[in-house]
Structure formats: C-alpha cells, structure tokens
Amino acid sequence: MLLVIFWLIQDFLTVLCGGSMQIPGLFIMGITYKILSVDDNADGNLWAIWSAFAGGILWDLRWIGIPGFFTLGNVIVVLIVMQIWGALPPHGKTTGTGFLVFVLFELSQLVPPLLPVLILGGDSSWRLYLLRQAYAFPIVLLTIYLYRKNLNTLNL
C-alpha cells in the first residue's frame, strides 16, 4: 500500500510542477528500500518485480505515452538490487554496507530515467536527466538515513 502512495505522491508532484521540475523516482526508491529492509521471503521478492513492472507501465502510459521506458528501467533496477543484495551473507547485510546501500539507492535513480535519454537523445534530455539527478540526491541521502535508523532500531 505504501508503494501505491509513493507512486501517487510522485505523480501529484509531477502534475503540480507542470513539467518545470524533474521529480525523483519515489516509487522505485520505495521498492528498493523495501527489498533492502525485508528479509528474503519464500517468494524470492517476486512482488518487487511485479510492482516495478506495474508502476513502470502506469508511469509510461501516464507521462511518456510509449510503454516500456520506465518499465524496463524499474525492472532492471529491481533485478540488479535483488541480485547484489541476495549475494551478500546475512551478516554482511547489517554491518559495513553503507557505501553499498548508497550505490543501490542511487542506482534506483540513475537507471529508469536514463533509458528514455539514451533512446530519444538530445541535448535537452541530458540536461533534464542531470537536473533530475541533482534533485534526487537529497532524497537518496534521506532514504539512506531512514534505512540506517530503521536498521539500528531493529538491532540486526
């Protein structure tokens, strides 16, 4: 349910800004946060792949008009995060993962908007992409802070 709220907030902020400001990917950030926070469960985080796919399709149909750009980016991010995070031993997930967590959260902001830029190209696309990354960086830092705070609260 929280992922739906993140998607709606991201959509609302995009509508509110009218395209004048690039909104960070709150939805994919929420999926990444949940993958890193929840222990591996029986379904192998299959929910994350389907959530990323559904959210990406809705975003593409709502804003891009061509399904597939953000859908592919979201699914790629989820698969990479699941692969890297799944390769760590349980002890490695709780200690000394600050830089890795930063890389995984930043990856969630780098990949999805990069695919339309690479496919459609143009100077303005790169400027908008870099502007989006500048807006996303504080969100990434806030998410890392919340993740570390949650990790310390759970005493894992």
pLDDT digits (tens, 9 = 90+) for 135-152: 999 999 999 999 988 877
pLDDT at 118 (0 to 100):
83
Flag whether 43 is in a domain.
yes
Flag whether 19 is in a domain.
no
Flag whether 22 is in a domain.
no
Would you give the distance in Å from CA 54 to the centre of its chain?
A: 14
Flag whether 4 is in a domain.
no
Per-residue pLDDT reduced to its tens digit, 18-71: 767 778 899 999 999 999 887 665 567 889 999 999 999 998 888 877 788 889
> Residue 36 sits in which domain range?
27-154
Measured between alpha carbons, how far is 107 from 112 in angstroms, rounded to an integer?
Answer: 9
Q: Which H or E run includes 4?
A: helix 2-17
pLDDT surpassing 90 at residue 125: no
Flag whether 64 is in a domain.
yes
* Residue in the structure block whose two tokens are 């299959």: 46
Cα 42 to Cα 32, 46, 54, 84, 91, distances in angstroms = 18, 9, 21, 18, 20
pLDDT surpassing 90 at residue 153: no
Could you tell me where the DSSP H helices lie in 38-97?
A: 46-59, 69-87
The count of domains in the chain is 1
pLDDT over 90 for what percent of the chain?
42
Measured between alpha carbons, how far is 62 from 67 in angstroms, rounded to an integer?
Answer: 9
pLDDT at 95 (0 to 100):
63
pLDDT at 137 (0 to 100):
94
Measured between alpha carbons, how far is 59 from 132 in angstroms, rounded to an integer?
Answer: 16
